[in-house]
Chains A and B, each alone.
Chain A
Amino acid sequence: MSFYLPSVRSVAFLLALSTPMAGLFAGQALAAAPVKVAIKGFAFVPQIVTVAPGTTVTWTNADEDPHTVVANDKGFRSAAMDTDDSYSFTFTKPGDYAYFCSLHPHMTGKVVVK
């Protein structure tokens, strides 16, 4: 298998230069630019983020009330975040990840990984 790797990498490199599809081929090296979500005014901002596999999403609480980030399917879960506290999670697999604040459940958000 390793015999073929150099050529695959070359293709990925060329694609990276020429097409926005690069992330699909290039893996984490190109996909891992971190994404930030603010928790502000009892809302996740932006409410929906679309990221490539391998991306780390960081939520930071700008409110004076504590909030949490909890996956609807419990796949990830932050501790309660006081003002200025952050929580990060790295999404490795494609899919839709709906989440909410378990203290104020009307606050919902989604991470789309593709």
Chain B
Amino acid sequence: MFDHHHHDHDLDESGLSRRGLLTRCAGWAGTAALYTMAGGVASSMSIDAALAAKPIMGKTKPFTFLQISDTHLGFDKPANPNTRATALEAVAKIKALAQKPDLILHTGDITHLSKDEQFDDAKQILSDLGTPIFYVPGEHDFLDEGGGKTFLAHYGQNTLGTGWYSFDHNGVHFVALNNVANLKPGGMAHIGDDQLAWLKKDLAGLSSSTPIVVFAHIPLWTVYEEWGWGTDDSAQALGFLRRFGSVTVLNGHIHQVLQKVDGNINFHSARSTAYPQPAPGAAPSPGPLKVPTEQLPSMLGIRTATFTRGTAPIALIDSTLA
């Protein structure tokens, strides 16, 4: 039922204190995005007030956050005829957590077909959590005629380019990347020069001891090239990240838990709440994997992340909906 990726569980409970989600100097994008997403949590705080707030660089505090992915609202095929119900199960599971997460990352494929009503449905289902949610799009969220305009209308406020941004929380720097826009023939996922230039600048002012969490839909390491499970130009992004002592890269897209460690960079893909996909190369092609109905909940899930301190790896616990 639980997959423990890290053995680091020496959480200092006494040090757990929920503080405001403040951003550092470059937080103009993330701050506004946060308050947009945060519902009532911090809506009384203006951007100016957030910018004037004391930077918290170098000061980390323990907290938990959560990853949810690939809700695919609107998908109704045999692999899961009711993705709405399984998304609601995930929400119920999150609400039942003993430690309420400070924030939630949704790593894309919120919807199946980028339709307004599917985005609206996602909002309705997830707003019940009462926790700030930060989104990146999957390719399913970017397939409207406008090439992502619908997603950006819902979630793009105060983000840059095709929807990238960053923010800080308790001394951890979070970076949201879009690697599903403007994909090239024959390639895989793609970050693109504009976003890479922004990333370089975004990270430039940070101390190497700053813990970094990067989240994007498609894996930033090559899981399986024949299925396009990787990102063409991720090497450049990872180049900017190598000097940091602790980098956690979270993605969705492949609907299964996989991980890889590369120096100080830890890559983790998450389960979907909608349907599983085959293990890399285990089937003729990727796509929804039909499993016996009773088996489905054990292949869907959410991920809890616990940050303790400094460069200690972020402890991840993947739990299924079974």
Contacts and interface: CB of A to CB of B under 8 A. Distances in A.
Contact of A80 (B113, B190, B287): B113
Contact of A106 (B143, B188, B287): B188
A66 B77 contact: no
A108 B287 contact: no
Contacts of B75: 64
Interface in B166-190: 183-188, 190
Place the interface of chain B in its size category: 20 to 34
Contacts of A83: 77
A98 B190 CA distance: 20
A107 B286 CA distance: 12
Interface in A15-59: 41-43
B77 A105 contact: no
Contacts, number: 60
A22 B285 CA distance: 40
Contacts of B285: 41-43, 63
A106 B139 contact: no
A103 B139 contact: yes
A108 B143 contact: no
Given A41-B285, A65-B287, A103 B143 contact: yes
A107 B185 CA distance: 8
A98 B184 CA distance: 12
Interface residues of A, number: 23
Contacts of B77: 64, 83
Contact of B225 (A79, A104, A106): A106
Interface string B281-297: 00011111000000000
B61 interface: no
A104 B228 contact: yes
Nearest to B144: A80
Contact of B185 (A65, A66, A72, A82): A72
B145 interface: yes
A105 B185 contact: yes
A108 B186 contact: yes
B187 A106 contact: yes
Contact of B143 (A42, A43, A63, A66): A66
Interface string B97-114: 000000000000000111
B226 interface: yes
A83 B287 CA distance: 12
A67 B2 CA distance: 34
Interface string B216-234: 0000000001111000000
A106 B226 contact: yes
A100 interface: yes
A103 B144 CA distance: 11
A60 interface: no
Contact of A68 (B113, B143, B184, B227): B143
A6 B184 CA distance: 49
Contacts of A64: 75, 77, 79, 287-288
Interface in B113-134: 113-114
Nearest to A71: B185
A72 B185 CA distance: 6
Given A42-B286, A63-B287, A99-B185, 8 more contacts: A42-B287, A65-B288, A68-B143, A80-B143, A105-B184, A105-B228, A106-B226, A108-B185
18 contacts: A41-B287, A42-B227, A42-B286, A43-B285, A64-B77, A64-B79, A64-B287, A65-B286, A68-B143, A79-B145, A80-B113, A103-B139, A103-B183, A105-B183, A105-B228, A106-B225, A106-B226, A108-B186
